[in-house]
Amino acid sequence: MRMKLFLMLVGLVALVAATGCVETVGGGKTAGVPLIRDTFTGRYQRPLETVFQASKEVVKDMGVLATESTLYDQTNSVKTVQGKVNQCSIWVRVEAVDPQITEVSVQARTKGGGSDMDLAHEIEKQIGIKLATR
């Protein structure tokens, strides 16, 4: 009985030690399990504003749009969207690589700090579909 209790305590300590802060694609930090992949990236041959509008619409359609912002301390034009989809936190970074090519990075984290790559990929794919219909 003591051995089981000891192992459970060791497991709990290991779990707490494994969680920490991770960088978001929006430029902030959030609690989460580090060193796991949580971001899906795609490039589109569209201007930044068009891709940014599509990103906002996709997040609104799939969940709740919390914030949108522009990062001014970057070398390229960068806009971000943050929201909640299926009780996961979502960050979308839209960055102009050049005037006609825009890169989108979608990051998805669960309540417990784990990654949700399927959701990140689905959001990135929906952005591409939204752009194809324009």
How does residue 127 score in pLDDT terms, banded at 50, 70 and 90? very high
Residue-wise pLDDT tens digits, 59-103: 999 999 999 988 887 777 899 999 999 999 999 999 999 888 999
- Whole-number Cα distances in Å, 123 to 9, 10, 99: 38, 37, 23
- State residue 107's pLDDT score: 94
Mean pLDDT of the chain: 86
- CATH number of the domain located at residue range(s) 38-132 in this protein: 3.30.310
pLDDT at 13 > cutoff 60? no
Residue ranges per structural domain of the chain: 38-132
Nearest to 107 by CA among 74, 69, 72, 59: 59
Structure confidence at residue 14 (pLDDT): 57
